[in-house]
A and B are shown apart, each in its own frame.
Chain A
Amino acid sequence: MGRITLSKVTKTFGDVEVIPPLDLKIEDGEFVVFVGPSGCGKSTLLRLIAGLEDVTSGEIEIDGTPATDLPPARRGLAMVFQSYALYPHMSVRKNIAFPLKMAKMDPAEQERRVLAAAKTLNLTDYLDRRPAQLSGGQRQRVAIGRAIVREPEAFLFDEPLSNLDAALRVNMRLEISELHQSLKTTMIYVTHDQVEAMTMADKIVVLRAGHIEQVGSPLELYRSPANLFVAGFIGSPKMNFITGAEAAKHGAHTIGIRPEHLAIAQEGGSWQGRVGVAEHLGSDTFLHVHVDGQDPLTVRVPGEAGYRHGDTVSLTPNLEHLHRFDDKGLALR
């Protein structure tokens, strides 16, 4: 079981408060993603849960037992590091078996578990190699293998894919998601990439400067962001924000409209503009439209749109998907 509860947890380094008092509940079997920009405290939060950092105040409970003062090894968690942190002088087999050896498990049982993990992760042919002889993706899998052999209560991932190239990243994303489906163990995953968060998470925790901005399923965050920060962070390309008179018409300080919720026509829409850069991706076209008196708006047009630089176009927002925010940046419902 892997239920993790944080209550009033804080962390300060010297005079700097990295995590102000924070409450969070993670249910058993959930895939939770901590997402936020660099330096928002998401990795620190993960390390607090792992026990690699001591909390300044507050309580951490794992499965209902207080774990605040437990050393990392006794919390029953396994962690995959950004640098993988494989032991360079040990073979893949010994790397994966290391936690079992430390637990003084019977060697035959160790071997059985290592082989099972290697099979799951397609590492069987590489068991006698050293980490230096493996590719990035394979090292990543060894790091995951070292985590799964212990059969932990929960897995902690600290930006595990950020050292991989784009194609491999998509692959590993799928593999980790599949691993979660088959193991059904709680996983906590830290990333700054909102695409990873959206595609993998059951529950996303959006962090900014140590504060939880919003917690919810990916689609909840997409449909009803609680504030400007979440609205801007979730979704790609970014949501367009419009302030001033245009927003006042809708009774808000700021309105937000996603690029995919803007209809484009030659004329007759709400806003007239001129096409700046057009990005043709094949499946979609992103147009950057300059509207007088406003920041440029990004528009997503499905398929291969025939618009070119300099064309005059007219945009109409889909009012059902219009987001309204007050002057403090909070969503108006």
Chain B
Amino acid sequence: MATAHSRAAARVMISPAVILLLGWMIIPLSMTVYFSFLSYNLLMPGMEEFIGFGNYEYFLTDPAFMEALINTLLLVGGVLAITIVGGVGLALLLDQPMWGQGIVRVLVIAPFFVMPTVSALVWKNMFMNPVNGLFAHMAKALGLPPFDFLAHAPLMSIIVIVAWQWLPFATLILLTALQSLDKEQLEAAEMDGASALDRFRFIVLPHMSRAITVVILIQTIFLLSVFAEILVTTNGGPGYASTNITYLVYAQSLLQFDVGGGSAGGIVAVILANIVAIFLMRMIGKNLEA
């Protein structure tokens, strides 16, 4: 029974955890905000001074910013499109009864366990390398000139690598959703004259819509901050062709030692992420209700 007294006691007892968590979040955030208003370069220690919104102005008017913003959105959108479509397809295939189901499912999940730097290096050196890569060999076998993916289609290549990593996650969530579908509903639809395509469209897809929403939300959070894959493959290049906001902040603060500018970029990234979140919740959040 929750009496007024026990509620008060409960609040007192959870307060250390809440305060710790709050501090954990608030202190770095407020320090970042503070630094973003300073002219603070590690190459010129002791020269910090308050410059107002100067860092923000500098970051937002940098031509690289717009390019990085577009790249970020393309990366998130591209990976989401590939993983949702591919995930639904793979889930439908894996739901079919077949020999060796357990092994196949483990194999499908496997890429998710490979750390991003490793998988990006594997893709870079073993698949996409224009001299030794598997794709280069395949192109040569067909008599075509090998294509240097990371030089000529850097963003596309990174989208493929990241999608490869996230496809298992989407497949897993969508497969469990698919398995919870009542088989009698499909039979009823079959009796009602629905073709296989109709059954997918009117029964299976609506049933999976909530799982798809969950996949989109979770993946968006992680995809906005893709970094390791870019660092080990293209270093954001050529030019800014594969730089996203996260990588731009890194370049600003750690390659140019500009703590103030980097902090301003970080705050901008937080605001952008929240804008994306608001749009997402508007569009698909209603799927999570009821």
Contact = CB atoms under 8 A, between A and B. Distances in A.
A77 B191 contact: yes
A83 to B, nearest CB: 5
A81 B192 contact: no
B202 interface: yes
B137 interface: no
Contact of B194 (A73, A79, A88): A73
B198 interface: yes
Interface in A31-70: 50, 52
Contacts of B182: 83, 85
Q: Which among B191, B193, B203 has the highest number of chain A CB atoms within 10 Å?
A: B191
Nearest to B188: A85
Contacts of B188: 79, 81, 85-87, 146
Contacts of A137: none
Report the interface size class on chain B: 10 to 19
A108 interface: no
B57 interface: no
A102 interface: yes
B198 A50 contact: no
A89 interface: yes
A73 B206 CA distance: 22
B217 to A, nearest CB: 20
Q: Chain B binding site: helix, strand, loop or mixed by DSSP?
A: helix
Contacts of B187: 52, 72, 79, 81, 85
Contacts of B209: 89
A98 interface: yes
Contacts of A73: 190-194
Interface in A80-104: 81-83, 85-90, 98-99, 102-103
B124 to A, nearest CB: 44
Given A52-B187, A85-B184, A87-B185, A99 B192 contact: yes
B190 A52 contact: yes
B189 interface: yes
A50 B189 CA distance: 13
A99 B190 CA distance: 9
B105 interface: no
B37 to A, nearest CB: 50
Contact of A99 (B185, B193, B206, B207): B193
A78 B191 contact: yes
Contact of B202 (A50, A78, A98, A150): A98
Nearest to A156: B191
Interface in B157-213: 182, 184-185, 187-195, 198, 202-203, 206-207, 209
Interface of A: 50, 52, 71-73, 77-79, 81-83, 85-90, 98-99, 102-103, 146, 150
Given A81-B188, A98-B202, A103-B193, 20 more contacts: A52-B190, A72-B187, A72-B190, A72-B191, A73-B194, A78-B191, A79-B187, A82-B184, A85-B185, A85-B187, A86-B188, A87-B185, A88-B207, A98-B194, A102-B189, A102-B195, A102-B198, A146-B188, A146-B192, A150-B192
17 contacts: A52-B190, A72-B190, A79-B187, A79-B191, A81-B187, A83-B182, A85-B184, A85-B185, A85-B187, A86-B188, A87-B202, A87-B206, A89-B207, A98-B192, A99-B192, A102-B192, A102-B198
